Structure 1
Amino acid sequence: METITATEAPVVLVRVPKPPGADQDAPVGASRDVVVGVDIHQPCDQLLCFAFDEAARRGGRLRALYGWSLPPVVRDALALEAAELDMAPDIARSLGDMLAPWQRKYPSVAVAELTPVGAPSQLLVQSAADAALVVVGRRSRRSRVGAHIGSVTHAVIHHCAAPVAVVAHR
């Protein structure tokens, strides 16, 4: 982890393959897709630039994912469904707006915009089950105190079978 927080350059982590005969998980990298986790409320140009570059280089699709949660005040099933129906279009539009300039810059990259309700780290790990690469970010920080990678990046590093690229961004 220290290397990840000590550099501004992207760091790619690749799991060591299991020995022959060991229980194998789903085939990693079965597709050429790149999965990128984004926060629609924060700028992440360095992250998107890296993800689009990798998808273009691999000739794969880019799956851009923003996982979100419903407000905790929503308690019953009907209110949950109504809140999701009300919020989902705005969230999808925000993700689309974030990706639009990059799609114009990389017209050869097909993009899947994913905005499911759920924990972002779990959604990223699930979405990356067959991906060639998962791209997550970490905020660049000048302070030497406190966490230097977020909880989503931490979880993806530890639970994702696919290679994980951690990209520092402001």
Structure 2
Amino acid sequence: MAPIRENRTQQEASTMLRPVIAGIDGSPESLAAAGWAAREAQRRGVALRLVHAWARPPALSAALPSTAGQRHWAQRILREAHDHLGALYPQLPVEEAQSEGPAPAVLLGASRDAGLLVLGSRGLSGSTGYLAGSAALHLTVRSTTPVVLVRAGEHADDAHLLNAEGRSSTATPYRDIVLGVDLAHPCDEAVEFAFASAWSRGAALRVLHGYRRPPISATGPGAADGTEVMAQHESALDALVQPWRRKYPQTTVTTAVRRGRAQSLLLHAASGAGLLVLGRGDGLGPGPRTWPVIHAAVHHARCPTAVVPHA
């Protein structure tokens, strides 16, 4: 891992002052995402910006003006979300923005000056909102801003442990944050995001790396045995995490190396987590190793999932 740059603190401060953006389309997923985004904006001390994109019906000519009905519908969706969040979080500055155009393009443009983009995730709910499914996946793999996907039905107390009576409660500590790491292509930005998220919540952080069994050709004479391979991965993971432990000494951190499919390992680890964090490529989309993991998390993770691009 490269040393933490001295100017990173200044960059982080600039990022943390940027608003949190939530894409709104009226679906249950997008409303749950807006609630999650509001809570995150409060933790960061920044404004929440609700963004809605609407497209002209195909039958209309591009030369014709946009219809009043479309604008009214967009304003209604934004106003209802604004009023709902305003009642829950009265001290939070909430902004509204609407624009004509395809949702992915509008949100990609809006997120360029944001610290975080939060979207509804279709997951296993079967929603047909235009920000769910393929549109959300497109934004996740193309955005240069971290993206968090939130499933329908997500509430504030879901991020917390159950209380002594086995009930959901915001009075209990936060659930763990889970960070998935690919040691072959580590993403410092994802590690930083995970540590900062855990620190802001007072949550524990679990860092997980999964690896597959070496091919038969690599297990001949002179090759490292299974115990040695495991030790090598554990040493590399500890080395990756160590500088961040020093930067966030108050955060409880555990590391684990497991042999198996990364997708299965991470989904299992995140089953009781408050947030799953994954790194992504070089800003142009995920690579062949990270794509299956991101795809699995987007569609099957029960907790909110953050996908953080490598700068």
Query: TM-score scaled to structure 2, two decimals?
Result: 0.46
Aligned-partner Cα distance in 2 for 1:120–1:86: 20
Cross-structure match for 1:169? 310
**1:72 CA drift (Å):** 2.6
Cross-structure match for 1:2? 138
Aligned-partner Cα distance in 2 for 1:6–1:142: 6
List aligned pairs for 1:88-107, cutoff 5 A: 88-107=230-249
- Greater Rg over alpha carbons, structure: 2
Q: Which amino acid aligns with 2:179?
A: V
Aligned-partner Cα distance in 1 for 2:281–2:251: 26
Q: 1:151 aligns with which of 278, 292, 299?
A: 292
Determine if contact 1:15/1:161 at 8 Å carries over to the other structure: yes
Determine if contact 2:178/2:270 at 8 Å carries over to the other structure: yes
List aligned pairs for 1:8-157, cutoff 5 A: 8-17=144-153, 30=161, 31-73=174-216, 83-142=225-284, 150-157=291-298
SS where residue 66 of structure 1 aligns? strand
Q: Which amino acid aligns with 1:13?
A: L
* CA RMSD in angstroms, aligned pairs only: 2.7
**1:29 CA drift (Å):** 5.2
SS where residue 178 of structure 2 aligns? strand
Structure 2 vs 1, CA of residues 29 and 165 (structure 1 numbering), >3 Å: closer, same or farther?
farther
Determine if contact 1:28/1:129 at 8 Å carries over to the other structure: no
Aligned-partner Cα distance in 2 for 1:71–1:91: 13
**1:168 CA drift (Å):** 0.6
**1:39 CA drift (Å):** 1.0
Aligned-partner Cα distance in 2 for 1:28–1:73: 43
Aligned-partner Cα distance in 1 for 2:176–2:188: 19
Determine if contact 1:67/1:123 at 8 Å carries over to the other structure: yes
Aligned-partner Cα distance in 2 for 1:142–1:167: 12
SS where residue 148 of structure 2 aligns? strand
Aligned-partner Cα distance in 2 for 1:142–1:150: 12
**1:156 CA drift (Å):** 1.3
Structure 2 vs 1, CA of residues 44 and 68 (structure 1 numbering), >3 Å: closer, same or farther?
same
SS where residue 232 of structure 2 aligns? helix
Query: Matched residues, percent identical?
Result: 37
Q: Which amino acid aligns with 2:146?
A: P
In structure 1, the gaps of 5 or more residues are 19-26, 75-81
Q: Which amino acid aligns with 1:83?
A: D
The structure with higher relative contact order (CA 8 Å, sep 6+) is 1
In structure 2, the gaps of 5 or more residues are 1-136, 162-173, 218-223
SS where residue 41 of structure 1 aligns? coil
Q: Deviations over 1:80-128 (max 9, x none)?
A: xx83212111110000000000000000111110101111110000001
**Runs of 4+ residues over 6 Å off in structure 1:** none
